[in-house]
Amino acid sequence: MTSYALFLGCTIPARQPHYEASARKSLAQLGIELVDLANMTCCAPPPLQSIDLETSLSMAAYNICLAEEADLNMVTLCTGCFESLAMANAMLKENEKLKARVNQILSSAGKEFKGNKEVKHYLRVLLDDVGLDRLKKTVSKDLSNLKAASFSGCHLLRPSALLKFDDPERPHVFDDLIEALGAKSIWYRNKLKCCGGLLRGYADDIALAIAREKIVNTTKAGADCIVTLCPFCFLTLDLGQMLIKSSFHEEYNMPVLHYTELLSLGLGIDPKELALDFHKIRIDKVLNKIE
Amino acid sequence: MAHKGEKTLSSTFPKEVTSRLGGETVALCYQCGTCASSCPVAKVTERFNPRELIKLSLLGEKQEVLSGSAIWLCCSCYKCQERCPQKVEIADVIYALRNMAIKEGNTPNIYSEFAAGLMSEGRIVPLSKFVEKKRPDFGLPPLKPAGVDALRKILSTTGFDKIQWKKEEAS
């Protein structure tokens, strides 16, 4: 059993209990313990980095301090949280001057960033602590009829100089983990391109045009579903299809699932336990293909 | 990005950007356009072009850059930064420009909303009472409290809580 401090973030507990439920249940079944720590705050994602980078860096460091105090490495579900926290962790570990500046700010909250813990995305935990072979052996359902279009979101991979998660132009970790469940991870046009989600609320027209492209490309490639990691990508592509319907008068009904949902289904966890009603686009098509 | 009225250049602007967190690499740009050809936003609108934004910054077009809408149209996907042959940290430079714009009072509404949520709850996406009440039904443990007190101390130390959240007329 390996234990991690869970960084849950803002969007998942607020809007996506299906992500949280599937993550907690599947990871527990694979022997990964998630420890909930008190007093975490927002990770300081791009919208806050846009307001003030120094504050954002300090907030990320503050959260990492809580994991350091609990003597645990940290795991995130959201790739946005992963980026904010892993980027801050890497920057502060390699830049003493910046670390001193941030620690001066953190002293007001009684914290000191030491830089002795890791921030991992849960895909890395699955790969390193469980491994593809054990994962393959643990899957009890047949997903071989399922064609999945993986979409990692930008912030699992980039900026790669700091995140060092996978090859930023030819990533394979996420696809390997989908195939370990028995499903086929398919290619589609502009797979690594952004979903446009961060422009929602400022330039909705542009955000929706970019999201639409992703839905069109995965549909053309014959995908049964899109598999996401980031709650914001999920929202942009799932709820986004309702907006595409009203703005473009086009209906795609492309199911969007978080990887932990696919994992839970593969592990044989009862779909009734996964809060699947929170999907705007129904995923029955996917459930029917799993035996 | 049409000009309104008289053109004012700021010779110190490139240095101001370079001296800010995130802005350090702006002057390395040699205008090859790899960023623009990698940009998902530039593909769908003429309102945004990262190469153009860097050029204007280096030319000292402070007012046009900081009060225009272009800096807010970056979707922070880091494709440009990943591919830049000069290692200009373009997405980070744009964060630095946004930080400067906000200091000058040019804050899009949505960012004021994020800041308000953060300062009151410690989160930028507010919790939903409905979802929170249903957590036990999904087998989820109660949520741990957010570290709002510690956060407020950090925000006060960096001056974040003193930013004037002037509202934009339209975005």
Do domains A2-122 and A135-289 share one topology? The answer is no
Residue A60, pLDDT > 60, answer yes
CATH tag, A2-122:
1.20.1050.140
> Could you tell me if B67 and B120 lie in one domain?
no
Single out the residue of B31, B4, B6, B22 nearest to residue B101, CA to CA. Answer: B22
Distance, in Å, from the CA atom of A288 to the CA atom of A285, rounded to the nearest integer, reads 5
Cβ density class A53-88: b for 16+ within 10 Å, e for less = bbbbbbbbbbbbbbbbeeebbbbbbbbbbbbbbbbb
Confirm or reject contact between B130 and chain A (CB < 8 A): no
> Could you tell me if B79 and B19 lie in one domain?
yes
- Which residue among B53, B88, B103 closes a domain? B103
Domain residue ranges of chain A, discontinuous segments joined by +: 2-122, 135-289
What's the pLDDT band for B166 if we cut at 50, 70, 90? low
> Could you tell me if B30 and B51 lie in one domain?
yes
- Which residue among B74, B103, B132 closes a domain? B103
Q: Is B168 contained in some domain?
A: no
The Cβ-side half-sphere exposure at B42, using a 13 Å CA radius, reads 17
pLDDT of residue A1: 76
**Is A53 in Cβ contact with B21 (below 8 Å)?**
yes
Domain span at B37 = 13-103
Contact in structure between A83 and A121 (CB atoms under 8 Å): no
Q: Is B169 contained in some domain?
A: no
Q: Is B58 contained in some domain?
A: yes
Residue B169, pLDDT > 90, answer no
Among B73, B81, B92, select the one facing A199 at the smallest CB separation: B73
* ipTM confidence: 0.96
Confirm or reject contact between B119 and chain A (CB < 8 A): no
User: Which residue reads 């009904």 in tokens?
Assistant: A253
Q: Is B155 contained in some domain?
A: yes
Q: What is the mean pLDDT of residues A66-91?
A: 98
> Could you tell me if B121 and B99 lie in one domain?
no
Distance, in Å, from the CA atom of B153 to the CA atom of B161, rounded to the nearest integer, reads 10
Q: Is B170 contained in some domain?
A: no
> Could you tell me if B33 and B91 lie in one domain?
yes
> Could you tell me if B96 and B113 lie in one domain?
no
**Is A58 in Cβ contact with B154 (below 8 Å)?**
yes
> Could you tell me if B71 and B97 lie in one domain?
yes
Helix (H, G, I), strand (E, B) or coil at A166: coil
> Could you tell me if B18 and B73 lie in one domain?
yes
> Could you tell me if B115 and B95 lie in one domain?
no
Structural domains counted in chain B: 2
- Which residue among B69, B103, B137 closes a domain? B103
Give the domain A135-289 fold: Rossmann fold (3.40.50)
Q: Is B71 contained in some domain?
A: yes
> Could you tell me if B66 and B140 lie in one domain?
no
CB pairs under 8 A between A and B: 195
> Could you tell me if B33 and B90 lie in one domain?
yes
Model confidence over B103-141: pLDDT tens digits?
A: 999 999 999 999 999 999 999 999 999 999 999 999 999
pLDDT of residue B163: 87
Read off the CATH number of the domain in which B83 is found: 1.10.1060.10
Q: Is B156 contained in some domain?
A: yes
pLDDT of residue A220: 98
Distance, in Å, from the CA atom of A19 to the CA atom of A226, rounded to the nearest integer, reads 14
Residue B171, pLDDT > 90, answer no
Q: Is B35 contained in some domain?
A: yes
Model confidence over B18-36: pLDDT tens digits?
A: 999 999 999 999 999 999 9
Distance, in angstroms, between A160 CA and closest chain B CA?
7
> Could you tell me if B87 and B26 lie in one domain?
yes
